[in-house]
Structures are given as structure tokens and as C-alpha cells.
């Protein structure tokens, strides 16, 4: 098998940024989901409730800042946050550092409700929830439940056949960190350990899928797929499943074309 895609999501629930190679840190890919958008109470404004988030293109800047863009909105360069922390409501995390007023206004206008951009200054202080396979000492950024999500191109090809539509699904619906190709469909279900290039990973759990997958990553429109077909073929314990969650065994670097063994 080979690594065929790598995606970094600078802002949680925003669009993924394809990269050719990236450093792997204890909490995930370098630059991945260190930023998130919350409401006045610190609750995450996530993609399933606010599909316009998928239109947000963000790029990490040297020095710790962020460049934001979205259709119909002016580009905004966000300086590295330096203010006092504010309360947030993420599992295992109770505070983060707010960006400035300009970023707050930018997201408020985009989403049509009060919104605030926050930065996770130290991802080493957010532990992976033991209910999702976390072990002592394992940490994660603003990502859900694990530092990386792996999906398989072979599994998506089978899912497309089962759906039977004219247009294959975009893998971006599943918001993977890494995509592999070359194995059998859903072979990843049985994996316990994965090596990508020079980096070893532990499989912490299978990934159950939510309504985010029904949002077109280009248009933001909602549909019934792939959850409708996954419910016919991949239903277990009342949930649908696609992909696996990974925890790095140590630091390193991964690159497109790297060999993948499991």
C-alpha cells in the first residue's frame, strides 16, 4: 500500500489543505486543528450545524499566524494570539486563547451569529478521551478523539459501487488526515498498528460517521449519502463506520508515496 493523500485542517471544521509532506507531532500533523471557532459560551460551532464552515480556507503562516479566506469574504491575516485565555467546552480542554476582534467579526459575518476564533496554545495539555481509546500520556489538538484519521481509497471505491451514483464521492467528505491505497476494501477494520514511511501509529478505534459526511465539501449542500448506504452495509452498534483513528507512536515525517504497512 501507498500513502496517496495528506490533509491538514488549520481550522477545525474548515476545509482541508493538501500537503506533500508534513511532520508528525504527538498530537497530530503539524499545523492541524490548532484553531477552532466557538460561540459566546465556548461551544464549538461545528460543520454539521454550520455548513458554511466548509468554505473556509485557512493557511498557517510562519510565526504562528493564520490567513483566512472564503467566498464572498475578504481575506484576513490573523496575528498570533496573545490575549488572556477564554473558556471553551471541548472534552479534556477548558480554555484556549482568543484571536483578535477582526477574526471574531469575520466569522460572525460568515456564520450569521456571534462567533470567536480561538487557538490551542499547548496541545500537550489535552488528553485523548479514554472512552475513545486514549491511553495515559496521549494527547490531541482540537481534532475529534484522535490525532489522525486514516481512510482507504479501496473502501471508498466499494462504497461508490454500492451507492451506484454517476459521480464518485469526494473523499474530502470523510475529512481524513491520510488516505492509503493498494489494499482490499475495509482491510483497515482489522488493523492494530500502522507504519507510514518512517512513523509508527497505534489504531485507537474505528471511526463512526456523523452528518458531516452528508455535506458536499465544495458546495456545502446536504444530501443523504453516504450515510444512507453505510447504514445498509456498515451498521454496527447503531452507528455507521468508515476509517480508523491513529495515535503516533513517536515523531517523524510522512510524505506522499510513502509505503504503508499494517
Helix (H, G, I), strand (E, B) or coil at 66: strand
User: How many other C-beta atoms lie within 10 A of the C-beta of residue 77?
Assistant: 12
pLDDT at 166: 87
pLDDT at 233: 98
Task: Report pLDDT digits (tens) over 238-260.
Answer: 999 999 999 999 999 999 999 99
Q: Are strands 21-25 and 93-98 parallel, antiparallel or unpaired?
A: unpaired
pLDDT at 194: 98
Q: Give strand pairing partners of 200.
A: 195
Superfamily of domain 2-27+129-261: PK beta-barrel domain-like (2.40.33.20)
Q: Using CA atoms, how far apart are residues 247 and 249, in angstroms rounded to an integer?
A: 6
pLDDT at 78: 97
Mean predicted lDDT score pLDDT of the chain: 97
154 close to 183: Cβ distance less than 8 angstroms: yes
The pLDDT of 114-122, averaged and rounded, is: 97
Task: Report pLDDT digits (tens) over 46-103.
Answer: 999 999 999 999 999 999 999 999 999 999 999 999 889 999 999 999 999 999 999 9
pLDDT at 151: 98
**% of residues, the chain, pLDDT over 70:** 100
The pLDDT of 195-218, averaged and rounded, is: 97
pLDDT at 83: 87
pLDDT at 251: 96
The pLDDT of 132-151, averaged and rounded, is: 97
Instruction: Give the helix/strand (H/E) hosting 21.
Output: strand 21-25
pLDDT at 165: 84
Answer whether residue 14 shows pLDDT above 90: yes
For 7, counting Cβ atoms within 10 Å of its Cβ (0-12 exposed, 13-18 middle, 19+ buried), the class is: buried
pTM here is 0.96
Domain ranges of the chain: 2-27+129-261, 33-122
Amino acid at each position: 500500500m501507498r500513502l496517496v493523500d495528506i490533509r491538514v485542517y488549520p481550522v477545525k471544521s474548515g476545509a482541508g489543505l493538501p500537503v506533500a509532506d508534513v511532520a508528525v507531532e504527538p498530537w497530530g500533523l503539524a499545523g492541524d486543528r490548532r484553531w477552532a471557532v466557538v460561540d459566546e459560551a465556548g461551544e464549538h460551532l461545528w460543520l454539521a450545524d454550520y455548513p458554511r464552515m466548509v468554505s473556509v480556507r485557512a493557511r498557517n503562516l510562519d510565526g504562528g499566524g493564520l490567513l483566512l479566506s472564503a467566498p464572498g469574504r475578504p481575506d484576513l491575516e490573523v496575528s498570533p494570539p496573545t490575549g488572556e485565555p477564554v473558556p471553551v467546552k471541548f472534552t479534556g480542554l477548558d480554555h484556549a486563547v482568543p484571536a483578535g476582534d477582526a477574526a471574531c467579526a469575520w466569522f460572525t459575518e460568515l456564520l450569521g451569529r456571534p462567533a470567536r476564533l480561538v487557538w490551542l496554545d499547548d496541545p500537550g495539555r489535552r488528553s485523548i478521551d479514554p472512552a475513545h481509546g486514549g491511553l495515559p500520556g496521549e494527547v490531541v489538538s482540537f481534532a475529534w478523539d484522535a490525532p489522525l484519521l486514516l481512510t482507504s481509497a479501496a473502501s471508498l471505491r466499494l462504497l461508490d459501487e454500492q451507492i451506484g451514483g454517476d459521480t464518485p464521492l469526494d473523499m474530502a467528505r470523510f475529512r481524513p488526515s491520510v488516505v492509503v491505497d493498494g489494499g482490499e476494501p475495509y482491510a483497515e477494520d482489522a488493523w492494530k498498528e500502522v507504519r507510514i514511511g518512517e512513523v509508527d501509529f497505534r489504531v485507537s478505534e474505528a471511526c463512526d460517521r456523523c452528518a458531516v459526511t452528508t455535506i458536499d465539501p465544495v458546495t456545502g449542500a446536504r444530501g443523504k449519502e453516504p450515510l444512507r448506504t453505510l447504514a445498509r452495509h456498515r451498521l454496527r452498534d447503531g452507528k455507521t463506520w468508515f476509517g480508523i483513528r491513529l495515535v503516533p507512536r513517536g515523531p517523524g515525517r510522512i510524505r506522499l508515496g510513502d509505503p504503508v504497512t499494517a
